[in-house]
Structure 1
Amino acid sequence: MMQATLEVGEDNGRYVLHAWCVMPNHVHVLIEPRIPLRSIVQAWKAYSGRWALANNGRLALGIAGEAFWMRDYWDRFIRSDAHLRAVVAYIGNNPVTAGLCARAEQWQWSSARRRREETPAAEW
């Protein structure tokens, strides 16, 4: 569901989606915003939060209370091509670092998997 939310914003021209990874308790996203970042994050949180709360019981998500997301978010400016590559690698490797999979492309809730599927084997 979060993956679909991220892709809708890209399809609507609100941002360019470079990398993403949905973890069990947080999300990493690298975008190039076309509108104010706070508007993008607010839309993500509103849509996915409403969905999670509405489906909490059916999916046994264990959400207590009426809030799904923390109030804040952390953002960073990408300052160079090297920084961009490092951030994409960090996002892709997050589930590996957390011990959720052995290789980044194994995590199905990540752009690393899609990037691997779309890249010819000769470029690996």
Structure 2
Amino acid sequence: MPPGTHRDWYSRDYLPHFDQPGLIQAITFRLADALPAEKLQRWALELAHETELAREVEKKRRMEAWIDAGHGACWLREPAIAQSVEDALLHFDSVRYRLLAWSIMPNHVHALIETREGWPLGSIVQSWKIFTAKEINAHLGRTGMVWQREYHDRYIRDAEHLANVTRYIEQNPVKAGLCSEARQWRWGSASRKQE
């Protein structure tokens, strides 16, 4: 497939992705140690007796609670590292995508973008992760994996969905107990909004 070609529905591992220009996409990617595979396997066993829908709902709830509790090294807590991730998100805003909202949490990143023709979603996320992994490893004086291989994306269906996802992204630091108001969180789009 030629570079810059959008792929509609596809999967790299176990997560399906949808890629079309002009879609608004909510994206989440996590540090490599934020959610261990063993934890996911244990939850799968615990929830095996549930219906598929109940399993998915409970798995999502558990994943959000685990991640928001700040497990793992939480390198994104360091201001210099959070700044490099924010700079990466903002770097190609209005060129390769339109960045609508974001929040850089201690162990994961949320971004809401509108994709553009010629810039497939996977290549956008890959560029963020490759660039920031080099920056993070250099800052920490280490080598090795920084981000989990996969990322989660969800296309926005309508205006109500857009409002809900924007609110979720910007309120995530409040929900995780990192601040009392979203605008207080330095590493998110809410801090840049006028009162």
Q: TM-score range by the shorter chain?
A: 0.7 to 0.9
Query: Which one of 31, 53, 59 corresponds to residue 137 of structure 2?
Result: 53
- Cα distance in 2 for partners of 1:68, 1:7 equals 20
Structure 2: gaps (5+ residues)? 1-83
Distance 1:113 1:55 in 2: 25
The structure number with the bigger radius of gyration is 2
Q: CA–CA distance in 1 between the matches of 2:162 and 2:152?
A: 16
Q: Which residue identity is paired with 2:124?
A: I
Paired residue for 1:60?
A: none
Aligned counterpart in structure 1 of residue 180 of structure 2, from 102, 116, 120 = 102
Q: Give 1:9 shift.
A: 1.6
Aligned to 2:113: 31
Q: TM-score normalized by structure 2?
A: 0.55
Counterpart code for 1:41: V
Q: What's the offset of the Cα at 1:103?
A: 0.4
Aligned to 2:93: 10
5+ residue gaps, structure 1: 58-62
| Offset at residue 33 of structure 1 (A) | 1.1
Q: By how many angstroms is 1:43 displaced?
A: 0.2
**Structure 1 or 2: more helix by fraction:** 1
**Structure 1 position 44, deviation (Å):** 0.2
TM-score by length of 1: 0.85
Moved over 4 A (4+): none
Instruction: Write the letter of the residue equivalent to 1:32.
Output: E
